[in-house]
Structure 1
Amino acid sequence: MSSLQDEAMTDSAATPEGSAHDDARFEAFLREQRPVLVRFLARRTDEHDANDVAQEALVRLMRYRALPAEKLTLLMYRIALNALNDAGRRSQSRQSAAHVSLDEEFDSLPSPEPDHERRLDNQREVERVRAAILQLPPRCREVYLLNRIEGMSYSQIARHCGVSVKAVEKHIGRALQSLRRDLQQVPATTTDRT
């Protein structure tokens, strides 16, 4: 095999970048041999893979286009078998059996996004929480948001607002009690959808 490739390299190096005659002869060779090569490969793999491997083999064969047809034929089969082996190794290393074809299974794939009903429910719930927070007295709301949204500690809030830590604790307690009470009430528009 390597002597064939060495010979091909010296033959192609001796000729200019491939004459028009060589190109026409090579294209005729490809048209004639492609269906034969696909049938040969289809005995070793499925039809789709056989077409892919044949295409890859013929592309690889292009660098040896200056060889005579009988040498091209032998080289074509050797390259095709190597390409088939390469494809087999790639599919094993990539765990191709675990892959899902998006073309075939697209409609049945689960979406990570919530459905429309769930999104509407979530929006309603966020709006309920927002409204409940807005109902808090201003200082109580400020202390609660500084703690829950800004992540400030009670002592940081006390310094920020100019109040004692005990006052911060009372505001947080009052906010939690009020929010718990407001959010436990079931709004008239929400019904059980199970």
Structure 2
Amino acid sequence: MDQHSSTMEASPDGAANVDWKATHGSLVRYLIARGVRADLADDVAQETIARLVVIARSQAIGSLFALAFRIANNLLVDHARLESRIGGDLDEDFVCDAPSLDRIVDSQKAFEVFQRCLNRMPPLRREVLVRRRLHHESCRSIGEDLSLSSKAVEKHITRALTDLRRAMVSAGLDPAGWSAW
């Protein structure tokens, strides 16, 4: 059966009577004429041929080209829907605002190290550090409440930060990323 034949009989070898290469070429030309990129036109034509072969093995096709163009058009619609759901070109770099798994694990480990270190600090040093760094109280205010000079408050903060830095280094954490503390 040649490529211009409009009817194809159903039979186990019915698909073998079609010039699939010529049908593929016709589909690619049709799709490119509709403005489809050449690579996408080839993919759609190939998928269309695969579907036509399956159909031709089980039933008679009244008009091979009419069915081929209908299948190709439906595949284009499916492709457009997929692209609109994904948000455009599949080759774009996707950026995730969530922290990486490594960062999460490092943060959890750092929190545990901080907690252990704080629990081991003398109570006065811990209180001064928490009030200054977590509650953002001034050294003067902390000193007045605890009957300490501002200089003594600063020394407690320095020693507490040194303790925290040592604990992080001994736990294998990079203290450079935690400079806010």
User: What TM-score, normalized to structure 1?
Assistant: 0.47
* Greater relative contact order structure (CA < 8 Å, 6+ sep): 2
